[in-house]
Amino acid sequence: MIKMVKILIVFAIMLLLAAPVTAANVTTVEIRGIVFDSGSSTYNTTLQWDAVKFPGFWYALGPGKSSETLKIINQPASSLTANNRVIEKENLQYNTLRSDQKFKVFSEKSKKVENGLEYNSSTKTFKLNATGGYYARLGWFGDLYVAVNGKANKLAKLIKEQKAEEKQTLKLGTSWNLGEGYNLTVESLDTETNPRQAWLSFNKDGKNLDQRVVNEGEVYTYIEKNVNGESDVPVFVTYVDSIFTGAEGMSTFVQLRYTWLISQNVLEIKAGDKFGVFEAKEANENYVLLHNKDNPIKLGQNSVQPLYGELKFKVADSSTALRFYPYFEQVIKDSPKVDFKATIANATTTTTTSTASTLSSAATTPSTSSQEAGAAQVSSPVTKPVTAKSRQWNWIFFAAAGLVATGYLVLRKG
């Protein structure tokens, strides 16, 4: 019998390795935090969740930084029982605070950015400067945002940030689609001057925002005069790494690195603003604090309690103990096929549930690519991830259901 089970398991694994995987039957993905369990001696004091206890919150693996906390205050854990299932008004808090981050061009090339921030690690304060190597960022309900001019209450999505090893090669006359309607076009390249020069134009939705001649080895920064009341905001940054003539001597190219771009669609948070069950209690340049000012949270048996957006509490179907946990629920919109063979080298764990522990154990490093626009592509990722909404999950995990070789691949790109 044991031998037969082993054979079946090996057969199932072989099927998984050999066949493409689809997510046609997957409708939602649940990313959950550690449970509160009034009947457990281990989990009956869980009243606070950060990125360690709740992998749905934003976490930067490299520097080991996070910014979000959800916690229950002003009522002891012993007050939450099977017979008392209410988090009272003002007792549930969500807090996020800004964190320092170096621009890639500063960390890799020691080049500062026009109108960037300076950061004092001793006092943990930011200062606007003519040039600076830092920007401020923070998590907002699991997603990464940039704090505009260092203000934690003015949030802009980070549209693009090239990794340290990434390069973008553009042929003369071609454009780079950066996202959200932004394009960078190579108008002219001069390989005869010293240093070599690139004439670049920065556009949005077909409208020219800026044109600049940039020397090889220099940083190009586009400054927006006004972004939601903030003056002289660096919106786009790129580094001209090299300008060269192709092998045939007929075409010229520019290679860009450390590119960074933020949205000008800013979420400004003010005291009194509503976010689901929460209201902003404090919102300033350092942090944002929300609480359930007017809404007690009733943790009814076998229920789901929406908090804000995709953040919810799920409550167990138990009459003898109160068990609940926070989670993000992600709906997968479509179901393209995924070549599992291309990702098996990175997958480390197979499981049927997406718990906090299993997700963290299956973390992997995404592959990198260098692309050449207007010419041949140098390299490209071989996998096509399942397309989800706009959220970007920080983990890759694989779930195998039974021995029928049904697999699902979900990607959050950090």
Interstrand relation of 287-291 and 297-298 (parallel, antiparallel or unpaired): unpaired
- Which secondary-structure segment (H or E) carries 17? helix 2-18
- Which secondary-structure segment (H or E) carries 274? strand 274-275
- pLDDT tens across 142-194, in order? 999 999 999 999 999 999 999 999 999 999 999 999 999 999 999 999 999 99
Domain boundaries, the chain: 2-56+298-411
- pLDDT tens across 290-318, in order? 999 998 999 999 999 999 999 999 999 99
Contact 51, 414 (CB under 8 A): no
pLDDT at 249: 75
| Regions of the chain short of the pLDDT cut 70 | 1-26, 333-414
Smallest CA-to-CA distance from 200 within 235, 147, 240 is with 240
Smallest CA-to-CA distance from 181 within 206, 210, 201, 200 is with 206
Interstrand relation of 36-37 and 323-331 (parallel, antiparallel or unpaired): antiparallel
